[in-house]
């Protein structure tokens, strides 16, 4: 299915932002840790619309950390609604979503935006397209759960996420140790291994 969200979709980490400045980015969704200062990289970008959300990449409560919450996903969906309602839908557009490493929060946000724009596309297809955009994607399970609920997907996104985790573990075995070290065992346990 052809995406109706945008002709160009990019997910990246903070260290990759300078390399995106010449790519005609028109819309940016930044998801960063609350304590991170304003990013200077955007000073080299052409005019663009940017929304910044601040929360940590965690899946369980932790001291001095901000969990992803339903209102964060609501803000992501507002970003998507504003993009879809833009005045000149025929003009070229490039949506960039980033977080610290471009692996978890940003990929969950991009999947949410894609699901919002393509309500009839299966979660499985959306995750296949997400992996093509960002092969190392490991979307934050809390965010996907909120998106599934808010978009009325009835578990489709969460089920597809479980299969995506399984594929990532199989193709990138180092993710098991990495996610364990980050306290993400619950996501490893969710994985459906074929």
Is 1 a member of any domain?
no
User: Residue 11 belongs to what H/E stretch?
Assistant: strand 8-13
7 — pLDDT class (breaks 50, 70, 90): low
The 10 Å Cβ neighbour count of residue 31 is: 26
Give 9-54 pLDDT, tens digit per residue: 999 999 999 999 999 999 999 999 999 999 999 999 999 999 999 9
Is 84 a member of any domain?
yes
* Residue spans of beta strands (DSSP E) within 25-158: 27-32, 49-54, 94-99
Domain that holds residue 83: 8-190
pTM for the complete prediction? 0.94
130-147 burial string, b = 16+ CB within 10 Å, else e? bbebbebbbbbbbbbbbb
**Number of structural domains in the chain:** 1
For residue 64, the domain's CATH number is: 3.90.190.10
Is 3 a member of any domain?
no
CA distance 75 to 72: 5
CA distance 17 to 59: 25
């Amino acid at each position: 299915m052809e995406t109706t969200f945008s002709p160009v979709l990019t997910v990246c980490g903070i260290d990759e932002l300078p390399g995106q400045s010449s790519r005609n980015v028109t819309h940016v969704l930044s998801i960063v840790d609350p304590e991170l200062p304003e990013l200077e990289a955007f000073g080299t970008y052409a005019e663009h619309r940017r929304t910044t959300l601040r929360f940590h990449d965690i899946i369980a409560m932790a001291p001095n950390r901000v969990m992803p919450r339903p209102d964060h996903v609501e803000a992501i969906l507002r970003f998507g609604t504003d993009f879809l309602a833009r005045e000149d839908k025929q003009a070229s557009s490039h949506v960039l979503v980033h977080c610290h490493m471009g692996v978890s929060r940003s990929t969950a946000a991009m999947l949410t935006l894609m699901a919002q724009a393509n309500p009839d596309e299966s979660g499985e297809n959306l995750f296949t397209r997400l992996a093509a955009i960002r092969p190392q994607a490991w979307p934050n399970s809390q965010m996907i759960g909120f998106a599934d609920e808010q978009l009325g997907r009835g578990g489709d996104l969460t089920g597809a996420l479980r299969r995506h985790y399984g594929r990532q573990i199989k193709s990138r075995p180092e993710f098991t140790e990495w996610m364990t070290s980050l306290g993400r065992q619950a996501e490893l346990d969710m994985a459906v291994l074929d």
